[in-house]
Amino acid sequence: MKISNYIHSLVEGGIVPGISILVGKREKIRFKKQYGLKSIFPSNEKLEDAPPTLYDLASLTKPLVTAFLLVYLKEKEKIALDKQVKEILPQLPNEFDMTLLHLLTHTSGLPAWFPFYLFADKIDSDGYLAHFPLVKLESRPGRRVEYSCVGYILLYYVIEKIAGTSFKALAREVIFEPLGLKNTFLEVPEHLKKNTAPTEKGNEYERKLALDWARTYESGKYLERARQYKWREEVIQGEAHDVNSHHLGGTAGNAGLFSTMEDVFRLCQEFFPSTASLLNPESLRLFWKNFTPFKISHRTVGFKRNSSFITSGGRALSRAAIGHNGFTGTSLWLDPRKEMTFILLSNRVHPEYKAVNFDKIRRKLHRLLTREPEYRKGGRQEKQG
């Protein structure tokens, strides 16, 4: 099957409005193509090369910004990854004795998610930090791998405390500006919001999630709070789909990054030793080293290894590849064996969330991509689909 036929079936089946794909080797683009539509509600709008489409990258923020900034601060000797987080943020509960490395590798014992936005009625200097005592640990640090947005929200505050500046400012200073990224933002400028791929109409998925949580947490104590929260009802465009990030002003370290496939490709080059310009080789090894070899999920700093029991990378990539997914329909995989980058960007939650196995789709796309003539011969494809 040709990749164009498969993606056409996804679009016709309502799985995705469209998708942007880029495959590169080192700094060279091997395959680049866009298929389908940028939006289908309130009207159809086709994906175009100009102006470039910005995607809500969701959790790709974790490796591309949050983990990268922590490793940068370590390289500058501002912090050690074996330091306990409560030594940096003493207002945290005593049981928060996990290290920064635990947080970076999802072994902290913190839960996957928590609706901080229900409690932070007024964003002040502490933001969500004052509400971490409400979060209940699910295991002791280091005991198991539990993917956690909560852990990366905590890292957001660690970064601001250590750096002495805002998360957004540090990202611009350390990453975006040195790389010359013109279409990468943690808060999309108003005049560029029209260039972003829209996501969900309202926050229906998160609203249901929060209501289900509130019914069981502390015997429904906060159920009315969840019901009364000012949920967005319009089509979300140019704002973080993730409510924790949106409520905090664009990002909370777990999500919030917007970018184009070309800028994401430039960011990905900063993890390969042969093309990196911002971090030294010793720092880069942290992104590739398996820190959880005896677990089912193999975790590096910021990434999941393709040697894990289940991944979105699949067998088309080597076991040493590292990658990450974004809830909105994005993913990236970096394969060190051939220094290849696979970027899949879509807005699959537009105009509503659909419960499909998107990792299975990602794996098939990777397989089909490696069979494409342009990929095999190193050509460059930029025609519209």
Q: What is the pLDDT of residues 249-271, one digit of tens each?
A: 999 999 999 999 999 999 999 99
Q: What distances in angstroms separate CA 276 from CA 22, 67, 310, one per listed residue?
A: 19, 15, 28
- Residue 327 pLDDT greater than 90, yes or no: yes
Q: Nearest 5°: CA angle at 331, between 194 and 252?
A: 65
- Tell me: cis bond preceding 51? Omega within 30 of 0 counts: yes
Residue 61's nearest CA partner among 321, 383, 325, 340 is 325
Residue 137's nearest CA partner among 115, 102, 109 is 109
pLDDT of amino acid 50 = 84
Q: Are 73 and 171 in contact (CB under 8 A)?
A: no
pLDDT of amino acid 381 = 46
Of 120 and 258, which is predicted with more confidence? 258
DSSP 198: P
Q: If pLDDT is split at 50, 70 and 90, which confidence band does 382 have?
A: very low
Q: If pLDDT is split at 50, 70 and 90, which confidence band does 377 have?
A: low
DSSP 258: E
- Residue 316 pLDDT greater than 80, yes or no: yes
Q: What distances in angstroms separate CA 352 from CA 3, 51, 130, 273, 347, one per listed residue?
A: 24, 25, 33, 39, 10
Proportion of the chain above pLDDT 90, given as a percent: 92
Q: What order of strands is seen across the sheet that includes strand 330-335?
A: 45-46, 28-39, 18-25, 340-346, 330-335, 322-326, 304-305
Residue 59's nearest CA partner among 306, 257, 264, 356 is 257
| Dist. CA 7–CA 12, nearest whole Å | 9
| Dist. CA 21–CA 341, nearest whole Å | 11
CB atoms near residue 341 (< 10 Å): 27
Q: If pLDDT is split at 50, 70 and 90, which confidence band does 374 have?
A: low
| Dist. CA 381–CA 22, nearest whole Å | 9
Q: If pLDDT is split at 50, 70 and 90, which confidence band does 49 have?
A: confident
Residue 370's nearest CA partner among 342, 339, 345 is 342
Compute φ and ψ for 66, nearest 5 degrees: -65, -55
- Report which secondary-structure segment, H or E, holds 216: helix 204-216
Q: Tell me the β-bridge partners of 29.
A: 24
Please name the residues in contact with 165: beta carbons below 8 A apart, sequence gap of 6 or more.
Answer: 173
Q: Tell me the β-bridge partners of 235.
A: 201
Average pLDDT over residues 152-168: 98
122-134 confidence digits (pLDDT tens): 555 578 999 999 9
Q: If pLDDT is split at 50, 70 and 90, which confidence band does 378 have?
A: low
54-111 confidence digits (pLDDT tens): 999 999 999 999 999 999 999 999 999 999 999 999 999 999 999 999 999 999 999 9
pLDDT of amino acid 225 = 96
Longest dimension (CA), the chain: 61
Please name the residues in contact with 154: beta carbons below 8 A apart, sequence gap of 6 or more.
Answer: 85, 89, 103, 108, 110, 132, 253
Tokens of 68: 């990268």
DSSP 280: -
Judging by beta carbons within 10 Å of its beta carbon (0-12, 13-18, 19+), is residue 373 exposed, middle or buried? exposed
Average pLDDT over residues 40-50: 91
Average pLDDT over residues 181-201: 97
Compute φ and ψ for 25, nearest 5 degrees: -120, 120
Average pLDDT over residues 159-180: 98
Mean pLDDT score of the chain: 95
The model carries a pTM of 0.96
Please name the residues in contact with 122: beta carbons below 8 A apart, sequence gap of 6 or more.
Answer: none
